[in-house]
Amino acid sequence: MVTTNWWLWLAAFFTVSIYTVAFADNNLFRFVESIFVGTSAGYMVTANWFNYIKPQLLNVQKGQYVLLIPFLIGLLVYTRYVRSIAWVSRISLAFTLGYGSGFILSKNFRPDFLTQVIATFRTLDTFNNWLLVFGVITSLTYFLFTVEQKGVVGYASKAGRWVMMIALGAAFGSTVMARVSLFLGRVQFLLTEWMFLVK
Amino acid sequence: MANIDRRIIYVIMMLAVIYAFIKPMGLPITVSQHTKTAYNAIDALPAGSILVLGMDFSAGGIPELEPAGKAIFYQCMKNNVRVVFMGMWVMAGDMAERILTEMEPLFPDKKYGVDYINIGYKAGGAPMLEKAVDDIVLAAVGIDHRGNALPGNMAIMQDFKSLKDVSFWVCLSTGTPGTGDWIRIVGDPLKIKGTTDIVSVSIPEQMPYVQSGQLTGIIQGMRGSAEYELLIKRPGRAVAGMDAQSLTHVVILAFILLGNLGYLVRKKS
Amino acid sequence: MVRKELPLAITFITGGIVILANFLAPAWFVQTNKDITVWYQIVTALFCGLGVVNLCRIHGKKVSQKREGWPFSVVMLVSMFGFMLIALYVGQQHQLYKNLYNNTIVPLNATMYSILVFYIASAAYRAFRVRSAEATILLVTAAIVMLGKAPIGEAVLGSWVASWTTWIFDVPNTAGMRGIQLGATLGGIAMALRVLIGIERAHFGGTGGE
């Protein structure tokens, strides 16, 4: 029992073809890989066109001519392909990096630093809370490169390394879990929608 | 022992997964406190309030995130909570449509534009959220994913003029832009509670936000999705995948053990 | 002069407007910040074509010079323009577009990332060794997490595996990740400041001129 929907056959073909690379590099994989790169790039452009660029162009058409300025700034990035005027593309980069830098400087400090520090010392009523404080301080000590890592600092740094090893162990376990989940998703598709082996 | 051909490992893994799907063991799944916290927060939302589902993931995140996305939408529709789909990732709109394709037939009385809407992907990443805090129609360039004009005559848009009107946010995230941006731009400054359904690989880096209270619980990868499916009493693909997840983990751990045994034996000799 | 100073001035002025609007909030800056946020959205949306141009240049050259593997470049270019033409012609709501998305983009994207499971399993088997105390901590933690997050761990070994996993994530992991995060945040802020005041200019490389 296999589906008769040829779209699902296409999806199954792509899935199985990609998995062949796990055993050896082959032309079938390279063929499907080329389709992957091509369609992904095409998708990126059309998604931006439909959801943002086209409606903004309609706004320009309706009289918001000031929007032509960002359109011009955005298009300037393509001058990088013309050697004699390649430097002009720096204007687009300068604008986005300027905005991005200002944005980071305005938005990140409080939630990612201040709130985190406050949360670390908020309550010190349980063993786990003390352990958290100990872990954060020793982890930070490990990155203290301006002080020689000897004596108390050395011990703290070593403890910090151990704390981070636990964190990285958890990260590794999580990474395995994530990759397994992706694989399960595809096998589930093959067995359920394509082959009807599983309900 | 330490030099097994990699292809043998691959074949054993594949067989383990296929076996687990064909012959499910039905291992019990305990619901974690983090998932329960997120579920309870969403369950406590009053009827008529608005929840935003940030669809900040690509196709790679489907097995881990989509089941929870469906479950949250289901829970909201049952509780008469209105849902807005939007996202900073290019696939956001199409991902939302995948959920809606499956969910819409279950709720024939719920109407697009009244009970839910798919704003879709809008360019700009985190600054787009900033714009949406100011004015959702401007951030969305006056159009939803289905090509309808915003606000148009859609009832939901009368109460949803910006992200300030949202009661709760959930970011379904595979990376950046994602959960961190929702916290920085919506959660913290506007004091609007929210949570994340995150791919397993990113769980560790999100935990500080849970401890600090910037996230209300957390739905952790496929396991979290499975737990959420159980909480809404509608087991789906994530629950079905848990046996296979178990067996694959055991296979990988067995090979790690074997590799280490080989290493220790060689070291001794 | 203009090639170097003009971009630096644009960076400084744009970033300055965003910062002033957020911290001091004078009316003009707030309004200008709102406007340039839309500008930023438009500019970044237009950047998406860079990938297409780069692919066309690299693969176009490969095809014209008939270099090794050129037929795959043809496949890539045909897929790219084929998808764009179909999508632009039928639109996002057409069933053909939906079928293409669900049966081409989704399986290709999801499967391509999922092959990592093979490499991670093979790498774990070959490289994950108990060579030192630190490596042992890493391995034991990873093993507990993998068992604690899969139902089989709890079913076979008991509920302690799940409890330990939760504790690992909630306490030592949070501590370690917070240490890393605090450092990364300060690093990010320092880098943003360097870009804003023009000390960091590496991003202007490769565009000719001074």
Q: How many CB pairs under 8 A join B and C?
A: 158
The residues in C 14-73 lying below 8 A from A, measured between CB atoms, are 14-19, 21-23, 35-53, 55, 57, 69, 72-73
Interface check for C127 against chain A (CB to CB < 8 A): the answer is no
With residue B83 as reference, give the H or E element that holds it: strand B82-87
Residue B73 lies in a domain: yes
pLDDT band at A149 (very low <50, low <70, confident <90, very high): confident
Mean pLDDT for chain A overall: 94
pLDDT for the residue numbered A2: 87
Q: Is B81 strand, coil or helix?
A: coil
pLDDT for the residue numbered A143: 87
Q: Is A26 strand, coil or helix?
A: coil
Mean pLDDT for chain C overall: 93
Q: Which chains touch C (3 or more CB pairs under 8 A)?
A: A, B
SS (HEC) of B167-191 = CEEEEEECCCCCHHHHHHHHHHHHC
pLDDT for the residue numbered C205: 73
Q: What's the whole-number mean pLDDT along residues C66-88?
A: 97
Peptide bond into B208 cis (omega under 30): no
- How many whole angstroms separate alpha carbon A51 and alpha carbon A58? 12
- How many whole angstroms separate alpha carbon B158 and alpha carbon B149? 13
Q: Which residues of B touch C177 (CB under 8 A)?
A: 204-205, 207-208
Q: Which residues of C touch B10 (CB under 8 A)?
A: 118, 121-122
pLDDT band at C25 (very low <50, low <70, confident <90, very high): confident
Strand stretches in C22-113, DSSP E: none
Of B59, B130, B246, the CB nearest to C150: B246
Cβ distance C150 to B245 less than 8 Å, yes or no, reads yes
Residue B13 lies in a domain: no
The long-range contacts involving A59-67, CB below 8 angstroms and separated by at least 24 positions, are A59/B141, A59/B142, A66/C35, A67/C38, A67/C39, A67/C42
With residue B121 as reference, give the H or E element that holds it: strand B116-121
Residue B241 lies in a domain: no
Testing the interface with C: which of B88, B104, B184, B211 to mutate, by most C Cβ within 10 A? B211
- In this predicted complex, what is the ipTM? 0.93
Cβ distance C37 to B10 less than 8 Å, yes or no, reads no
Q: Which residues of B touch A183 (CB under 8 A)?
A: 13, 17, 248
**Count of domains forming chain B:** 1
Residue B255 lies in a domain: no
Q: What residues of chain B score a pLDDT lower than 70?
A: 1-2
Of C16, C150, C175, the CB nearest to A132: C175
Residue B24: strand pairing partners: none
Residue B257 lies in a domain: no
pLDDT for the residue numbered C210: 45
Q: What is the pLDDT of residues C166-188, one digit of tens each?
A: 999 999 999 999 999 999 999 99
Residue C124: pLDDT over 60: yes
Peptide bond into B177 cis (omega under 30): yes
Q: Are C178 and A137 in contact (CB under 8 A)?
A: no
Q: Are B16 and B248 in contact (CB under 8 A)?
A: yes
- Please provide the distance, in angstroms rounded to a whole number, between the alpha carbons at the two ends of chain A: 12
Residue B99 lies in a domain: yes
Give the full edge-to-edge strand order of the sheet including B82-87: B116-121, B82-87, B50-56, B168-173, B194-198, B219-220
Q: Which residues of C touch A71 (CB under 8 A)?
A: 42, 46
Residue A124: pLDDT over 50: yes
Please give the radius of gyration of chain A, using alpha carbons only, rounded to the nearest integer.
27
Structure tokens at A104: 């980071």
Q: Are B116 and B85 in contact (CB under 8 A)?
A: yes
Percentage with pLDDT > 70 across chain B: 99
Q: What is the pLDDT of residues B176-223, one digit of tens each?
A: 999 999 999 999 999 999 999 999 999 999 999 999 999 999 999 999
Residue C209: pLDDT over 80: no
pLDDT for the residue numbered A144: 85
pLDDT band at A11 (very low <50, low <70, confident <90, very high): very high
Show the domain range for B47.
Answer: 31-235
Cβ distance A11 to C103 less than 8 Å, yes or no, reads yes
- How many whole angstroms separate alpha carbon B71 and alpha carbon B79? 12
The residues in B 41-60 lying below 8 A from C, measured between CB atoms, are 58-60
CATH number at residue B65: 3.40.50
pLDDT for the residue numbered B28: 95
Residue B10 lies in a domain: no
Residue A147: pLDDT over 90: no
Give CA angle at A81 (A79, A86), nearest 5°.
Answer: 50
CA dihedral A109, A112, A118, A123 (to 10 degrees): 170
